A and B are shown apart, each in its own frame.
Chain A
């Protein structure tokens, strides 16, 4: 690649832009009480929040795969009226403030919600203040990342392989599982990882819809927020844990997506 001379103004602005991202991270690293790191990480509340966060975010990712891949397939392959509108609706949570998502979930699945009141009266199931509620909030906010990534993968893949398989007599399901899925493997992986990372970091919809109780609905981001009021050093350490995970996700995806650029 030819080396481009960087104009001074661009370099200065780019440096300010980069510093804007790096300084907060540096702040976390510098101010974290490294001596107490082990104590903070092994505290029972931390372990509880970490376990809950992992379980809930992985469940959310699994649900997103089960429901999101078919949705992505429909968006990529089926022409129908209102497709763009439906796609916009299913990716809305990406730009919606998560708190608004939480309120919307309450109005649909809360005890007096559209569906929730029926669930409560018929089955005695209430979703707010439960771990299931956490998974729902996380799925709501994170699944769009999987949908758009997988849809992009489906659109950019070479469909001639599918057609060849069909002409050779493979059933549609076989084509999907043996040809399509392997071909979009990288997008599927990237979408799932992005979705998982977003679910892991979910805060607004979770605290609004599922509330906050240790071991049941208090995920890592909620624990960080509450620790900021009672034990700031511990909240810095937990923030760093989330930061390292997020960074790891991005680095992994870089390699998968762009090779090692």
Chain B
């Protein structure tokens, strides 16, 4: 399979070379693979983006690694071979940038808001943030190092609700899965997570006055070995096609 691809690439290169200097080459030289380290909340949408990007650029492979944004920062700083980093907040992005692991300026590619996630059909009748502090309601959140956990703290603080979480999960997707499993009653997660979980959970809106608008920036990692493919992927995510895919998963536009 990969032999055939490299043979095709060789042919393509030869064809371009024979084409001489006149006019732009037929292929943009977009081949090889990049690995994108993406925040857990991007799990479904980044997979879709990767698939359609690969369809548009045969010969290019997008590998995805998902975890909480701070875990990704740690992995990259400890030498994981990442080409792009997509964070669920600017704090983790700024950290990676300040530590000198990025190249170029991070580009904001999406926004997101948060919602209360409860079991399907809302059996505990949770109607708003105040219910999270009720006795008998098991509230969980992501740890404060994870963007979703930090946003949850901000939202509760501006709503003046003192809810004590029973668990601080390592990423936002574990919060959703504990709700799906029925171990916890409520959590604060992204609108997109509730949408991605489909009929297994129900979302309870958080008023705009206290809600947070999460900013998702993406940047090339300094040690990237395929910056042309990486930059092409960033451009694709920012293109109308890429933005349409993100919005189909419930994200808000980049600008």
- Cβ of A129 and Cβ of B168 under 8 Å apart? no
B: contact size bracket: 20 to 34
Q: Name the CB-closest residue of A to B185.
A: A111
19 interchain pairs, CB-CB under 8 A:
A106-B181, A110-B181, A126-B138, A128-B178, A128-B183, A128-B184, A129-B166, A129-B167, A211-B166, A211-B178, A211-B183, A212-B168, A212-B170, A214-B168, A218-B168, A225-B170, A226-B145, A229-B70, A229-B143
B140 at the interface (CB under 8 A from A): yes
- Cβ of B183 and Cβ of A212 under 8 Å apart? no
- Contact residues in B for A213 (Cβ distance below 8 Å): 165-168
Q: Could you tell me the distance between the alpha carbons of A33 and B9 in the complex, rounded to whole angstroms?
A: 49
Given A211-B140, A213-B167, A229-B68, do A111 and B182 touch, yes or no (CB 8 Å)? yes
B199 at the interface (CB under 8 A from A): no
Q: Could you tell me the distance between the alpha carbons of A216 and B70 in the complex, rounded to whole angstroms?
A: 23
Q: Could you tell me the distance between the alpha carbons of A136 and B183 in the complex, rounded to whole angstroms?
A: 16
- Contact residues in A for B183 (Cβ distance below 8 Å): 106, 110-112, 128-129, 211
- Contact residues in B for A225 (Cβ distance below 8 Å): 170
Q: What DSSP secondary structure best describes chain B's contact surface?
A: loop
In the complex, chain B residues 70-84 whose Cβ is within 8 Å of any chain A Cβ: 70-71, 73-74
Interface string of B82-125 (1 = CB under 8 A from A): 00000000000000000000000000000000000000000000
B193 at the interface (CB under 8 A from A): no
- Contact residues in A for B143 (Cβ distance below 8 Å): 212, 226, 229
Interface string of A102-115 (1 = CB under 8 A from B): 00001000111000
* Chain B residues near A (Cβ < 8 Å): 68, 70-71, 73-74, 138, 140, 143, 145, 165-170, 178, 181-184
Q: Could you tell me the distance between the alpha carbons of A214 and B182 in the complex, rounded to whole angstroms?
A: 22
- Contact residues in A for B73 (Cβ distance below 8 Å): 229
- Contact residues in A for B166 (Cβ distance below 8 Å): 129, 211, 213, 216
Q: Name the CB-closest residue of B to A230.
A: B145
> Given A129-B166, A213-B166, 14 more contacts at CB 8 Å?
A106-B181, A110-B182, A110-B183, A126-B138, A128-B183, A211-B167, A211-B183, A212-B168, A213-B167, A226-B170, A229-B70, A229-B73, A229-B143, A230-B70
- Cβ of B145 and Cβ of A207 under 8 Å apart? no
Q: Name the CB-closest residue of B to A227.
A: B145
- Contact residues in B for A226 (Cβ distance below 8 Å): 143, 145, 168, 170
Q: What DSSP secondary structure best describes chain A's contact surface?
A: loop
In the assembled complex, the CB of A254 is this many whole angstroms from the nearest CB of chain B, namely 33
Q: Could you tell me the distance between the alpha carbons of A99 and B107 in the complex, rounded to whole angstroms?
A: 36
- Contact residues in A for B169 (Cβ distance below 8 Å): 211-212
Which of A126, A207, A212 has the most CB atoms of chain B within a 10 A radius of its CB? A212
- Contact residues in A for B165 (Cβ distance below 8 Å): 213
Q: Could you tell me the distance between the alpha carbons of A114 and B181 in the complex, rounded to whole angstroms?
A: 13
Residue among A111, A217, A230 making CB contact with B167, cutoff 8 Å: A217
Interface string of A81-116 (1 = CB under 8 A from B): 000000000000000000000000010001110000
A232 at the interface (CB under 8 A from B): yes
Q: Name the CB-closest residue of B to A103.
A: B181
